[in-house]
Structure 1
Amino acid sequence: MLDGLVAFVVASLLVSMAPGPTTVVIMRQSARFGRSAGTAAVLGNETGWLLWSVTAALGLSALLQASRLAYDVMRIAGAVVLVCLGAKMVWQARRGTVLRSGGELPEGPRPSWWRSYRLGLLTNLANPKAAVFAVSFLPQFVPAGASVPAALLLLALASTLIDLAWYVAIVSLITRAKRYFQRPAIQRRLEYLSGTVLIGLALRLAAQAR
């Protein structure tokens, strides 16, 4: 039992550390708008992962694994969402190239906590691979003889907490370098980089089969 728990924690942490659209969004929100926005994006992402995990426990996400058409529809829809998010970031970076007198970038309105939360949630839900991963990853750690739905729900909650701890650490690390990231040129490059990476990940998602 203990060995299985250790294996689960290590595997969940390695999964959390793997870079993807979520990492890009959380780092971008933290660097541009600070700890509150970064934390909100993290909580939005964890809500999305928990939803995917719960659907896995209920057997609903197995439909995506069984149906090629359902998965392809979700995959293309998710890619479109990520492209839109990335394109918006690139556009904001291009608008920021017109400097004010004094060399400062024009400041847009700071996003609300809810807006950052929604961005994190949407980025996670736009990735159908999360659903397929949940339904293939979590069941490996269900103890023999345990109630499968109950065990999957507990594992989903545990993996969410591990993921949360990892991304909160990232937010804390980035916000400590707040002065560096607040430089106008750095913010503009960050917007370009974040948008470009999201678009690239979206195109990869659209091109890949399961």
Structure 2
Amino acid sequence: MFDINNLSLFILSVFLLSVTPGPDMAYVVGQSIANARRAGVISAAGVALGSFSHALASVVGLTALIAASPLMFTLVKYIGALYLIYLGGSLILGTFGRARSETGNDADVKKDASPYDLLSKGFVTTLMNPKVLLFFVSFFPQFVTPGGEHHTVSLLVLGLTYALVAFLTDVAFAILAGSAVGSITGNRSLQKLMDRVVGGVFIALGIRLALIRP
């Protein structure tokens, strides 16, 4: 029914991205520490809603490009490939410089925040980041068979899968906020290793995307 290929690679890539310390994790973990685990779970739901909104927007845009101009879609494909390679290279090069500052201390955390505040803040924070949309546009196409009959549905399924994997990962970190997260964000060597692994994956995916033929 679907035109999805390499779903296992897609899920693995999403998981690696999700466990890498960043703004979304910092927000979820910070709320979990400040306002208990339930707050972290609600915050993770807000982030997931924002991610799926970006995924939905990318599906609409990609579908329109495919219908309107195969040439334009090819151009976007190569731009997306370069963007993934750039992201991967930045992550790897960053491990040779100063330590990243994306820790829980940078998150916008309020004590005794309401469930609505937690949900909406996570949603808006992710939704207002244009880099997330650009990432989705460059990331999704390589996992869908070009010219398939169910291209749009397949992209939507990938968007839901992305949001679900990211949500479950964030929830796990929210529950283990005091221990598991500290071992990652507080261990510079482990964090560098994770950044290099994820960076390598992004570069490989960028090259793979560039080599896809319609």
TM range (shorter): 0.5 to 0.7
CA distance in structure 1 between the partners assigned to 2:158 and 2:76 by the alignment: 26
C-alpha RMSD over aligned residues: 4.3
Once the two structures are superposed, residues 100-126 of structure 1 have per-residue CA deviations (whole angstroms, 9 ceiling, x without a partner) of xxxxxx97422574555556x625623
Matched, 1:48 2:47: no
> Could you say which residue in structure 2 is the equivalent of 1:109?
106
TM-score (norm 1): 0.57
Q: 1:91 to 1:140 in 2, by over 3 A?
A: farther
Q: 1:109 to 1:171 in 2, by over 3 A?
A: closer
Once the two structures are superposed, residues 115-165 of structure 1 have per-residue CA deviations (whole angstroms, 9 ceiling, x without a partner) of 55556x62562362413545738x4448xxxxxxxxx4x665555344433
Matched, 1:177 2:183: no
Report matched runs for 1:22-171 at 5 Å: 22-27=14-19, 28-29=21-22, 32-33=26-27, 34=29, 35=40, 38-39=44-45, 41-60=47-66, 63=70, 67=74, 70-84=76-90, 87-88=93-94, 91=97, 93=99, 108-110=105-107, 113=122, 114-115=124-125, 122-123=131-132, 125-126=134-135, 128-134=138-144, 136=146, 139-141=148-150, 152=152, 157=156, 159-171=158-170
Matched, 1:188 2:186: yes
Q: Which runs of 5+ in 1 are unaligned?
A: 97-105, 143-151
Identity in percent: 12
CA distance in structure 2 between the partners assigned to 1:49 and 1:205 by the alignment: 18
Please tell me whether the aligned partners of residues 41 and 118 of structure 1 are also in contact (alpha carbons under 8 angstroms): no
Q: 1:70 to 1:164 in 2, by over 3 A?
A: closer
CA distance in structure 2 between the partners assigned to 1:82 and 1:64 by the alignment: 26
CA distance in structure 1 between the partners assigned to 2:53 and 2:141 by the alignment: 13
CA distance in structure 2 between the partners assigned to 1:63 and 1:181 by the alignment: 46
Q: 1:53 to 1:200 in 2, by over 3 A?
A: same
AA aligned to 1:199 is G
Per-residue deviation at 1:82? 4.1
TM-score (norm 2): 0.56
Per-residue deviation at 1:74? 2.9
> Could you say which residue in structure 2 is the equivalent of 1:149?
none
Please tell me whether the aligned partners of residues 65 and 73 of structure 2 are also in contact (alpha carbons under 8 angstroms): no
> Could you say which residue in structure 2 is the equivalent of 1:197?
197
Tell me the number of residue pairs that the alignment of Structure 1 and Structure 2 aligns: 179
Per-residue deviation at 1:18? 1.8
CA distance in structure 2 between the partners assigned to 1:116 and 1:200 by the alignment: 24
> Could you say which residue in structure 2 is the equivalent of 1:145?
none
SS at match of 1:83: helix
> Could you say which residue in structure 2 is the equivalent of 1:18?
11
Q: 1:157 to 1:73 in 2, by over 3 A?
A: closer
